[in-house]
Every structure is written in C-alpha cells, then in structure tokens.
C-alpha cells in the first residue's frame, strides 16, 4: 500500500446534485478511485445519462435516484434507497444547491427560504439520516460544497452567499459534534467553475480578462473533484472541520498588480 492512499475501494458514496457540473465530476472521480456511487438530482434524464457514463467508464455501480431535496420526505426516500441498494453511505457529498439571483432589497421571503431549505437544511437533514450508520461503523465522511461566495460578498447573490456561509459553519459544527463518532466533516469552497449553470458568469469574466483571481481563469469541474477525492480518502484522514477554498487565489488576490 502506498504511504499516501487515495483509494476509495469498498466505499459507497452519495453525491447530491450529481447529474451535472461539479457533482458529476465528483461522482465520476470517486468511481475512478474505486467507490460505488449514488447520484441524485431532480432531472431524471440527466441522472440516467450520467449514471450510465460513470458505469461504462469505471465499471463501478452507479445508482441514480431522482429527488427534490427541498422536500423532507424525498430526502428520507433518497437515503432509504441508497442504503438498500449500496448497503449504506460511507461518504456523503452535499452538492445540490439553488441560488436566487436578486439584490437583498428585493428578494422575497419565499425565494430566500427556498435557497436556505435546499442549500443548508437538506444537507444537514441528510447527514442526520446517515449518522446512525456512521456511529455503528465509527467511520463516515461529510463533504459539503460551499462556495467562496460564502466567505466574501458579491452583488446579487446575497441569499446564496448566506446559505453557503451557513453550510460552511455547519460543516465545522458537524466536525465538532460528530468527530467523536469517527465522522470527518469538511467543506469545499469553489470559485467560479465552468458549469452549465455558471455559463453566463463564465462568459462575462472571460470578456473581463479574469481580473478577479490570480490564475486568470475559472475552474474546471474536475479540479474541484480532486479536492473531494483527497477529503474522502485515507490521504485526507487528518482533514477535519476545515473550509478549503479552491478558487485560483480569488480570496487572496492582490488589489493591484506589479509588472515584475
């Protein structure tokens, strides 16, 4: 066995929002490193397509479960089906998210609550459902997909940023409360990533010249997945209760550049 072990052999992973973008990349990477995976999203067609791609490319099992995680009964049904088909959930990736694009001056209560319900409560509730199984094995991994928008403020995404700040601190709180049960909990805070949802913003910053980060480009989904593999695997066994920014240096970008 190598001294740094990224293997996920024998593990079962559940990735919400797993049909596209970052979720799809994480599910595929987990399968490439040996895990059986379950993916969940609302769109059945995209789910089935991704599930078949993962199985054909890696040979691992991939269970596709359509679900609207803003509904508690569907969260319970998702957990129940994954346990029945994969025998449990060793690794939980809470990636499903919704973002109401509106300034705080005009956002409605319904829009704000819908964002928090999916981005924070659904993630916590799903982790609560997984907890008894983790206690029994004295082992479990939670990876919550937050955002660098949960660390800094940007125009028009106040509700989204608030929800991502909340899931970040919830990740730390889970680590504090559940670490004694063998559960490791961390959050990944990506910057702007080339996904279908983010395409308008990607095009805007391409025209701008990517002045907002130090690498002058956006992330590709597989670059976020790499961090997820680290955190899920034995290689990340001492990563616990942390928020990991993967954003090309955006958080720490200089306010001006020198011609060196």
What are 6-50's pLDDT values in tens digits?
Answer: 999 999 999 999 999 999 999 999 999 999 999 999 999 999 999
Mean pLDDT value across the chain? 93
Give me the numbers of helices (H) and strands (E) for the chain, helices first please: 8, 7
Residues in the chain: 260
Per mean pLDDT, which of 96-105, 132-141, 187-196, 197-206 is the most reliable?
Answer: 132-141
pLDDT band, residue 115 (cuts 50/70/90): very high
Q: What's the pLDDT score for residue 256? A: 59
- Check if the beta carbon of residue 240 is closer than 8 Å to that of residue 179: yes
Helices (H), the chain: 21-32, 44-58, 72-86, 109-116, 122-137, 158-178, 199-208, 221-232
Residue 63 CA to residue 141 CA, distance in Å, equals: 19
Which residue ranges form the domains of the chain, and what is each CATH number?
Answer: 12-246 (3.40.50.720)
Is the pLDDT at 127 greater than 80? The verdict is yes
| Residues assigned a catalytic role | 160
Residue 242 CA to residue 71 CA, distance in Å, equals: 28
Is the pLDDT at 253 greater than 80? The verdict is no
Is the pLDDT at 160 greater than 80? The verdict is yes
pLDDT band, residue 258 (cuts 50/70/90): low
Give pLDDT tens digits for 165-211. Answer: 999 999 999 999 999 999 999 999 998 888 888 778 788 778 877 77
Closest CA to 97 of 189, 233, 206: 189
What letter would DSSP give residue 117?
Answer: I
Residues 6+ apart with CB under 8 A from 213: 191, 247, 248, 249, 250, 253
Residue of 251 and 11 predicted with greater confidence: 11
Is the pLDDT at 1 greater than 80? The verdict is no
Long-range contacts of 198-203 (CB under 8 A, 24+ apart): 198/21
Residue of 158 and 69 predicted with greater confidence: 69
């Amino acid at each position: 066995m190598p001294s740094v072990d990224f293997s996920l052999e024998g593990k079962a992973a559940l990735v919400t929002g797993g049909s596209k973008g970052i979720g799809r990349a994480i599910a595929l990477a987990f399968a490439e490193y040996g895990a059986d995976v379950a993916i969940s999203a609302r769109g059945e067609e995209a789910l089935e397509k991704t599930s078949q791609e993962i199985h054909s490319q890696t040979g691992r099992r991939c269970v596709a479960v359509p679900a609207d995680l803003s509904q508690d009964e569907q969260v319970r049904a998702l957990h129940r089906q994954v346990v029945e088909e994969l025998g449990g959930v060793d690794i939980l990736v809470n990636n499903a998210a919704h973002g109401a694009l509106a300034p705080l001056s005009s956002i409605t209560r319904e829009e704000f609550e819908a964002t928090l319900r999916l981005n924070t409560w659904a993630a916590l509730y799903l982790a609560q459902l997984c907890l008894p199984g983790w206690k029994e094995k004295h082992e479990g991994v939670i990876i919550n997909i937050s955002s660098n928008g949960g660390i800094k403020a940007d125009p028009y995404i106040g509700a989204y940023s608030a929800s991502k700040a909340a899931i970040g601190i919830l990740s730390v709180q889970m680590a504090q409360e559940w670490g004694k049960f063998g559960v490791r909990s961390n959050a990944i805070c990506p910057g702007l990533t080339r996904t279908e949802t983010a395409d308008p913003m990607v095009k805007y910053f391409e025209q701008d010249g990517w002045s907002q980060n130090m690498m002058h480009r956006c992330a590709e989904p597989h670059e976020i997945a790499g961090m997820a593999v680290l955190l899920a695997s034995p290689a990340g066994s001492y990563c616990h209760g942390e928020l990991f920014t993967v954003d090309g240096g955006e958080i720490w970008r200089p306010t001006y550049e020198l011609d060196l």
